[in-house]
Structure 1
Amino acid sequence: MPDDLSEPEVRPIFEIPGYSLPELAAQGDESLPPQVLTSAEAERARSRILFGSNGLYLQVDDEPASVWRRLGFALNRGEMAVQDVLPDERRYRVAFEHDPIVVAKRGFFQKVVLFWSAPEFIDFSGTYQFEVQPESSRTTRVAIFDEAGNIVPMERAEFVLSRLQQRLG
């Protein structure tokens, strides 16, 4: 530190109350950008998709033990099938399968010039891990990881978490 400068003031970092990166609750047509809930709707919801240090996660208004039980029931239906339960790590390994979504060609140029090209598909099927993490006395975090335990890209995580959110409420 040079003699003519003073050391900057250091303060502890604190979390600002509220929701981060708008409440990313994907609803409707998955091939379009997410529909963001209004602040009032997000406040009333019992779960919400938020952004944290490990990417997107599902925040649920309930205690971890209850979320763990509810998650076990929610994951073994429809498009999701539990492959493995790791109770010591509070993780579920899940196979997620959904019908691919065809992305419509929207512009004139795409419709005419790219007539011969194959259609574009969105397919986020695969194996995921869901980990239940205590967040506060009233909320629990459900983190999503890929098969190897890595952070899932935001678009993929949002799609899968929105399907899970519909089941958990």
Structure 2
Amino acid sequence: MCPEAAKNLIENDDRFEIICPLVSNSDIFVLKDENKIKKIAVTQNRFYQEKIIKDEYGAKVQAYPMIYSSLPYALEKGRVDGIIIDSIKALKLNGQKKALSINKNYPSYVLVIKKKFKKDKKFKEFINNYNKSVMELKNKDRIKNSIEDYKKIKLSNEEVEQWLKLKVKFFLIPQREY
């Protein structure tokens, strides 16, 4: 779950809690022309994306909130000069793909669970299986196969290399008593 939705959930339902970050830097810029940026579309209510634009470009570039599914269309039709979108969804989009920041990590997804689930042995099994999967994703061929299976697309080795340069990070869930 994205950090803002997770925060909203736990503020409104005390049965849930955030355990840890799972992924950082999965959102990226897709730009028409990096030298001509005035407006970048972001997903509405993802305020951290607006902060990212300010951090990266200052006040000279406007964040333009819109529905997530319309981001690629807005870019393609020239309504905006760039978008912030999930790196997996960006793979087949036209445009310059750029990591959000070289010097910072932006949490993209966090693990949210029901508090009572922490005591269930299935939670421990989930942690073990998830962590095993994260370790497998250190292998370039495994990443390629996983993305291809998930998106039902074929990727060239060049596209996989480009995705790896975006510095998407998968975190292990700490093995401890919850």
TM class by shorter-chain length?
Answer: under 0.3
Could you say which structure has the greater relative contact order, defined with CA pairs below 8 angstroms and 6 or more residues apart?
2
Calculate the TM-score normalised by the size of structure 1: 0.26
Name the structure where helix makes up a greater proportion of residues.
2
